[in-house]
Amino acid sequence: MAKLIDGKQISANVKEQVRIETEQLKEKHGIQPALAVVIVGNDPASRVYVNNKKKACELVGFKSFEYALPEDTTQEELLELVHTLNEDKNVNGILVQLPVPKQIDDKAIIQAISPEKDVDAFHAENVGQIMIGDYKFLPCTPAGVMELIDSTGVEISGKKCVVIGRSNIVGKPMAMLLLHRSGTVTICHSRTVDLPSITREADILVAAVGKANFVTGDMVKEGAVVIDVGMNRLENGKLCGDVNFAEVEPKASYITPVPGGVGPMTIAMLMKNTLTATKLQNHITD
């Protein structure tokens, strides 16, 4: 039977550390980190995320600025706001909540954010730095997954690691982070032939495919560490992950629940990135 990896507790620990460092930053340097969050339109899930980010800012002692733009905002208007925030010395981190309405090219918006304030680490410059292992920020979800794996005490070096999913936000950077820690990494996706034969080899399995209960018990090696990044809503309204928890939990050594696993870590790592950005912009090394 697997031990549950408690994302709520681990994220609370990360946020508490950020809160302490923020307090020290205010006392020693008179600086308070500030995060600007931009939301375009009325997507209900996006509104929940934005509200959670504001609450987290309050908890750790950051200033937060919200820019709620109407659904019919043009790309030019959004680019103009991003440019203004780039130039604003009172803003340390900029986050444009995705998805944006269809008239806006999200890639153009991401590229417009200053790499120094790109606390999501989506800008091509930051992505490139992650590739070569010389990064300032890590994408929030993969960084959170690494914290969860580290909490188990399981050594990544030399382990067979399998990532299911190849998105730019989770799958690809996740594979890079495991590789930087000397894991032997395989990335699987919708065209992978005989996926179960590969996942059964994994000492560490990260599921980020976006399909409810996709990973079944017969796909998992006995004693594997299983991290479920998925967040899917079933027809009955319940949340579930990409991993069939009931089948996989008896075989795994450690497993993340959904909800309460990876989800809370994403916002905690966003707070950590914003603190890092503030220190870098102010040339503070302590």
Distances in Å between the alpha carbon of 209 and those of 189, 220, 264? 8, 15, 19
Identify whether the C-beta of residue 239 lies closer than 8 Å to the C-beta of residue 211: no
118 is catalytic: no
Q: Which of 120, 203, 228, 242 is catalytic?
A: 120
Q: Which of 15, 97, 172, 279 is catalytic?
A: 97
Dihedrals phi, psi of 163, to nearest 5 degrees: -110, 120
Burial of 268 per CB tally in 10 Å (0-12, 13-18, 19+):
buried
CA 165, 149, 233: angle at the middle one, nearest 5? 50
Query: What are the tokens at 45?
Result: 């899930």
Residue the block writes with tokens 């504001």:
54
97 is catalytic: yes
53 is catalytic: yes
Answer positive or negative: Cα dihedral of 210, 12, 119, 37.
positive
Secondary structure of residue 207 in the 3-state scheme:
strand
Q: Which amino acid is at 19?
A: R
**Upper half-sphere CA count for residue 101 (Cβ side, 13 Å):** 16
Q: 17 CB contacts (<8 Å, ≥6 apart)? A: none
Residue the block writes with tokens 């959670």:
52
Q: Which amino acid is at 40?
A: V
Q: Which of 15, 53, 159, 279 is catalytic?
A: 53
Catalytic residue annotation: 53, 97, 120
